[in-house]
Structure 1
Amino acid sequence: MGDHRPPALLLMNAETYREAFGPELRAELASRLDLSAPGPVTDLDLPDDVTERVEILVTGWGVPRLDDEALARMPKLRAVFHAAGTIRTFLSPAALESGITVCAAADANAGPVAEFTFAQIVLALKRVGRLVDRYRTQRRPRDLSGLPGLGTHGVTVGVVGASRVGRRVIERLHTLDARILLADPYVEASEARALGAELVPLDALCSRSDVVTLHAPLTPSTIGLVGERQLARMRDGAVLVNTARGPVVDHDALTPHLVAGRLDAWLDVTDPEPLPADSPLWDLPNVVLTPHVAGALGNEVSRLGDQATAELCRFLDGAPLRHQVRPDDLPRIA
């Protein structure tokens, strides 16, 4: 596209900009874009003569909602490069339908989530949550008595959703002596076999699995996807791992199973998030709650800036894009 430096805005909070875009990336952005503000901004309360010129948006955590009204203020907008995972939380679907190019760094964020999920599965199968609680209380040599299904050998793990994260989790599960089940309405049996998994309905997955790990997107059809029927089918001592979205699980249905000690849960996301202060899940030895930390944190965030910047440069150079989000992707993305 020649030497044209398109007018652009950085829409994200200062912390995201600092962590995702180091000095080299900032220099790259400055050399390729005509930045309409010297640094990142978190709202579009800008003069019309600024927004009307904008052709490129580089976004990240802290981006304001880009609804139809906001998009109408940027009639020349050609592309959005999101240095984070999901676009659902801020971008109107009209942007995709209008022909604006949208790219996201979901692939870069999937790596840390898959690593974290795999670690949780291994720790959960070794009953680390229960053992830490017992060790802290007893303060004597380990006591393994009464623990359900201890260990990773020969277990069955059910993966709900062959998303970017789900597929990476499946790859890691192959390092265990585990049978892998997969439930995903968008995957054929042959594709599941190629991944090394057996495609089964969700109810069957829940009844056969020692661990059920969730990687489905949050859409109207997946709210409460794992409810009382699925939870009741899970084996005594089975583990539910959720690093996807809290509302994918019906927490009103889940809570009695956890209070009774019938199931274990490792939840990085909940509904609501965080849970109410009086929720019994905070204090159960069979529940491990983490504060939504599976995705990129700290030095991992730089991967998101790397991917967004590389995609921006490909766009400006007229090269094929690798991480474009298209309208028909929306039902399958988080």
Structure 2
Amino acid sequence: MVTLRTGGRPHAALAMNPEAAERILTPEYLTALAEHTELAPPPALDDLATDRARRVLAGTELLITGWGCPPLDGAALAAAPRLRAVAHTAGSVRGHITDACWERGIEVSSAAAANALPVAEYTVAMILLANKRVLETARAYRADRARADWLHDRPGMGNYRRTVGILSASLIGRRVIELLRPYDLEVLLYDPYVTAEEATALGVRAATLPELFAASDVVSVHTPLLPATRGLVSRDLLAALRPDATLINTARGALLDQEALTDAVLAGRIRAVLDVTEPEVLPPGHPLWTCENALITPHIAGSQGNELRRLADLTVTEVARWASGAGFAHPVRREGMPFRA
């Protein structure tokens, strides 16, 4: 949809956790947004039922949202009769875009494409490190203080002609595939919505879910968490992994049978790189914390530190496009919501 505007700049407001707003939309970005909108001054709205929120929302045409934005339900929209668009500074919009937004015809944009890049970079780094056996080799080197016989030690080490399985051709999954192209790897893809011809166009080979797990040295999970995908990576699939294979999860912890994964990792049969768990954070006494075959990071694959600037850059560009009448370049469609994170 193209937004046809007449008159001056649209009135805009920020709706998100105020701390998130300060981290992502620094003064330079607020200035950039103000070049294209009549921007309500901070702090960002994190409660849409307050008197201040009602005053701000009454004239707001464009809402710039982020982590911690309250749901834009019927009551919130009733307070914002002029609202016509939402530009989200993060990835998923599931937490705040409701059916009431789609019924109003509100246009929605997301910075998911920008947030996919660091997740894909993290994933590719972990794939290469896993096949190179970097973590366990470094651990052994630190313990022994001596070099092993490199001609005979770890014959399975290396990235040459290894097989990597990608679970889902999501934004992140596709970026991982793209970043893996320069390497001598065979890449398999499981995605029920991607045909064999489309997989070939992506430069990968389509596989069934059991085939992908049985054939891969590394499996990387990029599936959105939906009712149909909860527990998708089952005990049987984990059992099908090759001995010494590595499972990487940067998506959502609930996609895995975590009890089965824990059993397999504790048995020393496979390795796991987990940027997400279920729950997040694991209980202090959980055995994965001290398991040498598991690397757990605190949900850092997504945008962190200076990578937040990429989210802000995309958002400013989207706001400028919408304010000019060109529409969003990264729209979120209602019909695509069942397949998005």
Which bin holds the TM-score, normalised by the shorter protein? over 0.9
Task: Answer yes or no: is 1:17 the counterpart of 2:21.
Answer: yes
Query: Which residue is equivalent to 2:334?
Result: 327
Alpha-carbon displacement from aligned partner over 1:302-334 (angstroms, at most 9, x marks no partner): 111111111111111111421000011112211
Inter-partner Cα distance in structure 1 for 2:223 and 2:272: 17
Q: Supply the distance in 2 between the matched residues of 1:330 and 1:173 (Cα, whole angstroms).
A: 28
Q: Where in structure 1 are there 5+ consecutive unaligned residues? A: none
SS at structure 1 position matched to 2:35: helix
Given residue 231 of structure 2, which amino acid in structure 1 is its aligned partner? G
C-alpha distance in structure 1 between counterparts of 2:19 and 2:142, whole Å: 36
Among residues 58, 68, 72, which one is paired with 1:66 in the alignment? 72
Given that residues 37 and 323 in structure 2 are in contact (C-alpha distance below 8 angstroms), is that contact kept between their aligned partners in structure 1?
Answer: no
How far, CA to CA, are the matches of 2:256 and 2:134 in structure 1?
Answer: 23
Structure 1 residues 148 and 67, CA gap change in structure 2 (3 angstroms): farther
Secondary structure class of the residue paired with 2:48? coil
Q: Name the counterpart of 2:97.
A: 91
Pick one of 216, 223, 231 that aligns with 1:209. Answer: 216
8 Å contact from structure 1 (residues 148, 237) kept in 2? no
Given that 1:25 and 1:309 are in contact with CA atoms closer than 8 Å, whether structure 2 keeps it comes out as yes
Alignment partners' CA distance in 2, 1:289 and 1:97:
41
Name the aligned partner's letter for residue 226 of structure 1.
Answer: V
Relative distance call for 1:291 and 1:45 in structure 2 (3 A) is same
Give the 3-state SS of the residue equivalent to 1:76 in structure 2. Answer: coil
The 2-side partners of 1:177 and 1:227 are apart by 29
Provide the aligned C-alpha RMSD in A: 2.0
CA-CA distance at 1:186 after TM superposition = 1.2
Mapped to 2, the partners of 1:148 and 1:240 lie a distance apart of 20
Residue 81 of structure 1: SS of its match in structure 2? Answer: strand
1:324–1:236 Cα change, 3 Å: same
Q: Which residue of 1 aligns with 2:226?
A: 219
Q: Which residue of 250, 272, 281 maps to 2:257?
A: 250
Give how far 1:53 is off: 2.5
Say whether residues 1:318 and 2:335 are aligned partners. no
Q: Which SS does the other structure have where 2:94 is aligned?
A: coil
264-273 or 145-154: which moved more?
145-154
Conservation of the 8 A alpha-carbon contact between 1:97 and 1:327: no
Matched pairs, number: 334
C-alpha distance in structure 2 between counterparts of 1:148 and 1:231, whole Å: 23
C-alpha displacement of 1:3? 4.1
Deviations 1:157-195 (CA, angstroms, capped at 9, x unpaired):
000010111111111212211111000011111110001
What is the 5 A alignment of 1:153-164?
153-164=160-171
Mapped to 2, the partners of 1:143 and 1:92 lie a distance apart of 60
SS in 2 for 1:158: strand
Q: Deviations over 1:78-120 (max 9, x none)?
A: 1100011111133224323431100000011111111111001
Match in the other structure for 1:41: 45
Using the TM superposition, give the Cα deviation of residue 284 of structure 1 relative to its aligned residue in structure 2, in angstroms. Answer: 1.2
Q: What amino acid is the match of 1:307?
A: L
Q: Which digits, 9 at most, give the CA deviation of each residue in 1:182-233, with x for residues without a partner?
A: 0001111111000111111111101111110011111111111101111111
Matches within 5 A, 1:125-204: 125-141=131-147, 147=154, 149-204=156-211
Counterpart-to-counterpart distance in 1, 2:26 and 2:41: 18
Of the three residues 2, 7, 21, the one matched with 2:11 is 7
152-161 or 59-68, which deviates more: 59-68
TM-score by length of 2: 0.92
Write the distance in 2 (CA, Å) between the matches of 1:158 and 1:282: 25
User: How far, CA to CA, are the matches of 1:90 and 1:132 in structure 2?
Assistant: 44
1:259-288 CA distance string (max 9 Å, x none): 101010001111111111111111111111
Percent same amino acid among aligned pairs?
A: 46
TM superposition score normalised by structure 1: 0.93
| CA distance, structure 1, for counterparts of residue 184 and residue 77 of structure 2 | 50
Q: Distance in 2 between matches of 1:111 and 1:307?
A: 12
Answer yes or no: is the 8 Å Cα contact 1:149–1:237 preserved in 2. Answer: no
Aligned residue among 102, 108, 115 for 2:108: 102
Is 1:292 the equivalent of 2:296?
no
Three-state SS of the structure 2 residue aligned to 1:172 is helix
